[in-house]
């Protein structure tokens, strides 16, 4: 929830900074990109360290990192300083997400594991709701700095976590110290794990590439299509509300139909919705496709976070999950940049969204052919 609150506020803060600091479109784009670069670095480094010093310790470190960097960025007066702090915010966010799902999946019985991890991920939607409310009520009246100060408040939650959160029952500090980080990285691509790693990297890359490419550009796409009567706040709210049933239906189906079924179904739903959205000519079709895009895409995200830690044994689970998420974040850097360059080149929105549709279908085909089903499997 706190992660999503920060990410959700960023698009509104960028708009406010454009006015205050006179940012160019290129500079505005860099704020989003540096965040994704930080997330890629954080997912990789903190995933590696989660197998060395424990899930709980990394969870607290990453929470403190993104909260404090967010708070300090409220004090910045230069674009460069803001970018540096956004990199550290991204590192914290990128490291926390896969480690949190790993910790929860190792702490829940097999029969409930998938459902509980998807429900954990559903709090992303609540964070977006809070971000939308802060952006609507706080930024116009009190300024973007106060919004960033509010983003620092989760740091206090770390104190509660330190005192009350148990570490994963699967993590043993002695075992973590015996194995080197290099050995863990090699094992991710060992004979036993190479197939799972290939599938995860393909799915993570295509999902994150398309998500950030589409969702960061949605308000701009609507303006390009001439739907200026739809205010961005109302649109974000509609989209966010559609995320919740996406998560909840995925949570219900994941233990009944399996991980692969939910991922394949929801990703195909995402691909189809993207194609319709990109070619929509009327407000009704645009809003309907946008709601379905949000519903299917976020349901798939929840299932992916449940599926990923289940692919690896406990000694390399943090490493494997972190590396897969890091590959995904590379897609998150490239997606928005691709849209920017294609729009500049005069490529139609319909064709751009067709590219994202095709990328998701590639991920689905790889998953369907080579992915292992992990429903009800006891984690080792």
Provide Rg for the chain, Cα atoms.
20
Rounded CA gap, 318 and 315, in Å?
8
Greater model confidence, 26 or 210:
210
Query: What pLDDT was estimated at residue 173?
Result: 57
Look-up of token digits 């799915």: 203
Give residue limits of the domains in the chain.
2-163+181-370
Residue 227's pLDDT band (boundaries 50, 70, 90)?
A: low
CA trace torsion 257, 262, 263, 266 (10° rounding): 160
Residue 219's pLDDT band (boundaries 50, 70, 90)?
A: low
Task: Answer whether 125's CB lies under 8 Å from 243's CB.
Answer: yes
Greater model confidence, 29 or 210:
210
* 272-300 pLDDT tens trace: 998 998 888 887 888 888 899 989 998 99
Rounded CA gap, 126 and 228, in Å?
26
Rounded CA gap, 23 and 15, in Å?
9
Is pLDDT at 80 greater than 90 in this prediction? Answer: yes
In 3D space, the residue among 142, 145, 157, 35 whose CA is nearest the CA of residue 94 turns out to be 35
Task: Answer whether 64's CB lies under 8 Å from 142's CB.
Answer: no
In three-state secondary structure terms, 281 is coil
Query: What pLDDT was estimated at residue 245?
Result: 92
In three-state secondary structure terms, 373 is coil
Residue 331 neighbours by CB under 8 Å, 6+ apart = 204, 205, 206, 207, 208, 209, 210, 212
Rounded CA gap, 307 and 374, in Å?
7
**49-58, 151-160, 163-172, 299-308: which has the minimum mean pLDDT?**
163-172
In 3D space, the residue among 278, 308, 307 whose CA is nearest the CA of residue 290 turns out to be 278
**160-174, 264-278, 361-375: which has the minimum mean pLDDT?**
160-174
- Total-model pTM: 0.85
DSSP of 182-204? HHHHHHHTSTTTHHHHHHHHHHH
CATH for 2-163+181-370 (1.10.10.10, 3.90.870.10, 1.20.1250.20, 3.90.550.10): 1.20.1250.20
**Spacing of C-alpha 99 from chain mean position:** 13
Reading the block at residue 86, the tokens are 């956004």
Q: At what angle do helices 232-254 and 110-137 cross, to 10 degrees?
A: 170
């Amino acid at each position: 929830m706190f992660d999503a609150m920060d990410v959700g506020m960023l698009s509104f803060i960028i708009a406010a900074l454009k006015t205050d600091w006179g940012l160019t479109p290129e500079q505005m784009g860099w704020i989003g990109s540096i965040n994704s670069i930080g997330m890629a670095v954080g997912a990789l480094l903190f995933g590696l360290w989660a197998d060395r010093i424990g899930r709980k310790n990394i969870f607290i470190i990453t929470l403190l990192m993104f909260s404090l960097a967010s708070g300090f960025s409220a004090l910045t007066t230069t674009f460069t300083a803001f970018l540096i702090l956004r990199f550290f915010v991204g590192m914290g966010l990128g490291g926390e997400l896969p480690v949190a799902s790993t910790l929860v999946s190792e702490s829940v019985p097999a029969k409930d594991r998938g459902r509980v991890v998807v429900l954990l991920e559903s709090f992303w939607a609540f964070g977006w709701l809070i971000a939308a409310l802060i952006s609507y009520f706080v930024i116009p009246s009190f300024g973007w700095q106060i919004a960033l100060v509010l983003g620092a408040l989760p740091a206090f939650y770390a104190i509660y976590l330190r005192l009350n959160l148990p570490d994963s029952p699967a993590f043993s500090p002695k075992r973590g110290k015996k194995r080197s980080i290099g050995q863990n990285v090699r094992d991710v691509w060992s004979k036993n794990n190479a197939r799972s790693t290939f599938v995860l990297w393909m799915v993570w890359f295509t999902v994150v590439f398309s998500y950030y490419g589409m969702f960061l550009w949605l308000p701009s796409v609507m303006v390009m299509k001439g739907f200026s009567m739809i205010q961005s706040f109302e649109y974000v709210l509609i989209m966010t509300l559609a995320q919740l049933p996406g998560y909840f239906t995925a949570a219900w189906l994941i233990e009944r139909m399996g991980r692969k079924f939910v991922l394949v179904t929801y990703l195909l739903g995402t691909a189809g919705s993207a194609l319709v959205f990109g070619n929509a000519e009327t407000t009704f079709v645009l809003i309907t496709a946008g709601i379905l895009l949000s519903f299917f895409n976020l349901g798939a995200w929840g299932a992916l976070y449940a599926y990923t830690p289940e692919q690896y044994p406990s000694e390399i689970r943090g490493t494997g999950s972190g590396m897969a998420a890091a590959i995904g974040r590379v897609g998150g850097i490239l997606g928005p940049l691709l849209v920017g360059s294609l729009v500049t080149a005069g490529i139609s929105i319909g064709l751009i969204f067709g590219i994202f549709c095709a990328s998701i279908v590639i991920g689905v085909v790889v998953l369907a052919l080579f992915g292992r089903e992990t429903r009800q499997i006891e984690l080792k």
